[in-house]
Amino acid sequence: MNDFIVPPGSLERTSSKRVPPHNIEAEQSVLGSILLKNKGFLQVNEYISADDFYRDAHKIIFTAMVELFDRSEPQDMLTLTSYLTDTNQLESVGGASYLATLTHAVPVTANIESYSRIIRQKSVLRNLINTASDIAQRCFEEQDDIDQLVDEAEQSIFEIAGNKSATEFTPLRSIIPESFKTVEKLYERKELITGVPTGYTELDKMTAGLQPSDLVILAGRPSMGKTSLALNIAQHAALVDKTGVAIFSLEMSKDQLAMRLLSSVGRIDSQKIRTGRLQNEDWPHLSRAAGMLSEAPIHIDDTPALSIPEMRSKMRRLASGNDIGLVLVDYLQLMRGRVSENRTQEISDISRSLKALAKEHDVPVLALSQLNRGLESRTDKRPMMADLRESGAIEQDADVICFIKRDELYNKNEDNPDKGIAEII
């Protein structure tokens, strides 16, 4: 196992003292196994790539094997030597003599998957070292925004961890039960809803549900019921549609949100819950609501003044261990964007980033937004696009924009027929 011919350019080093993690024997064993038994290529091709090999010569050889496979040609000594000769790469890999040596380097061809895992592990370690070195260099330079740097560093680590993960065939018998549940769920909806249902029939008819990768803006003046409406949508998604929901609450604490959800699900006056003045008949409803919400796939983060990089970081960690289908942000203007002299530009950066978050996780992002005070001075209090506070690019970034209006806040007449009714525009 130690009598290997070393091709040119093989001893790459990270410094004069340290050699990056690698296993030459594993690399030679994988390449040799493929030369001896072509079907071995099928066992490793989806798990490793040419970039996972440490030695440049091995990268070239594996790339040649991929090309031969794509041409439906055998990957043996004759075809490989011919290909490398035709592409003027034979000498750079050590010549035909080195290719012959590879076939003698294989302990057992049946262990090719184990050898490929070793190659992949060493590749991940090298990528981590390179990423860490780059991050360290940027930290020493002190030129990057700290939140942005942390976000990019975490994203780089996630990409390394998730890259080239092995996939296997799944027996149909394991897929059918979940598919049957999906059909049942679609049947129960009774509507052509392709996204996350909101629970509001007319809204679902207009939108076909909240669609994956969409940024949905729900805007209104204070006390219009934006948070209540958004929580009702989240509650319906989690309890009825069994969709995982992530709530970023920048205004209310998680305890306040929990109280609101208990009130909504239990159909108990929120004032009773806040003050503890419950009637005997309220307790069964409250207990039932608590039980349902305890099992609901709802996750709440109430960090105030959250920045976009912080939100993306939290979302990645949450999504790595949970199936999230809807993100709720309450509310957009309380978030921190990149440092900017212009608040409108900062809000525009936030809205673009929320759209990017929706696309990254392929989920709808429902973001609440305030409206300008100028609306109050108009005779017609019906909201318009121009009323979006510090709107900037919100109109361009959003896929859907809804306004909520309660006429009773402007018309205090006790005989107002719209009292207690909120209009979604």
Domain boundary assignment for the chain: 24-162, 186-424
Report CA 223 to chain centroid distance, whole Å: 32
Q: Computed from CA positions of residues 243, 249, 255, 260, in that sequence, does the dihedral angle turn out positive or negative?
A: negative
- Predicted confidence at residue 327, as pLDDT, reads 95
Query: Token pair for residue 346?
Result: 């900062």
Q: How far is CA 92 from the centre of its chain?
A: 41
**pLDDT attached to residue 339:** 64
Active site residues: 251
- Record the tokens describing residue 302, joined without a space: 């109430």
Residues 6+ apart with CB under 8 A from 203: 402, 424
Tokens of 35: 């030369």
Q: Across the beta sheet with 423-424, what order do the strands follow?
A: 298-301, 244-249, 324-330, 365-370, 215-220, 400-405, 423-424
* pLDDT score, position 11: 45
With residues binned 3-state (H G I as helix, E B as strand, rest as coil), the percentages for the chain, rounded to 5, are 55, 10, 35
Q: Helices 343-361 and 308-321: crossing angle, nearest 10°?
A: 10
Q: What is the mean pLDDT of each run of 10 residues along the chain (425 residues)?
A: 47 61 93 89 84 93 90 89 93 91 87 91 91 88 80 79 58 80 70 81 85 88 83 91 91 88 83 79 84 90 84 85 90 76 77 88 90 69 70 76 75 62 72
Instruction: Check residue 175 and give its pLDDT.
Output: 76
User: Do residues 337 and 350 lie in contact, with contact meaning Cβ atoms separated by under 8 Å?
Assistant: yes
pLDDT given for residue 169 in this prediction = 62
Are the C-beta atoms of 166 and 159 separated by less than 8 Å? Answer: no
Query: Which H/E stretch holds residue 216?
Result: strand 215-220
Q: Are 202 and 338 in contact (CB under 8 A)?
A: no
Residue with tokens 């184990």: 114
Any idea how long the chain is?
425
Which pLDDT belongs to residue 392?
57
Cβ partners under 8 Å of residue 231, min gap 6: 257, 260, 261, 264, 328
Query: What does the alpha-carbon distance between residue 200 and residue 203 come to, in Å, rounded to a whole number?
Result: 5
DSSP category for residue 389? T
Q: How far apart are CA 421 and CA 223, in angstroms?
A: 13
Measure CA 69 to chain center. Answer: 33
Residue 309 CA to residue 349 CA, distance in Å, equals 12
Query: Which residue type, as a one-letter code, is found at position 410?
Result: Y
How high is the pLDDT of residue 64? 92
Sign of CA dihedral 354, 355, 356, 359: positive
What single letter denotes the amino acid at residue 114? S
Phi, psi of 368 (to 5 degrees): -85, 145
For residue 121, what are the CA distances in angstroms to 48, 128, 353? 10, 11, 33
| Per-residue model confidence (pLDDT) at position 109 | 83
Task: Determine the pLDDT at residue 2.
Answer: 43
CB 136 within 8 A of CB 60: no
Q: Please state which of the four CATH numbers 3.30.499.10, 2.60.110.10, 3.40.50.300, 3.10.520.10 is assigned to the domain occupying 186-424.
A: 3.40.50.300
Here the tokens at position 270 are 């929120």
Distance of CA 399 to CAs 139, 210, 410, 417, Å?
37, 10, 29, 33
Fold of 24-162: DNAb Helicase; Chain A (1.10.860)
Three-state SS for 20?
coil
* Each residue's pLDDT tens digit, 285-330: 888 888 888 888 999 998 888 888 788 888 888 888 888 999 999 8
Same fold, 24-162 and 186-424: no
pLDDT at 389: 62
Q: What is the Cα–Cα distance from 85 to 65, expressed in whole angstroms?
A: 14
Closest among 216, 164, 257, 153 to 424, alpha carbons compared: 216
Backbone φ and ψ for 189, nearest 5 degrees, come out as -70, -30
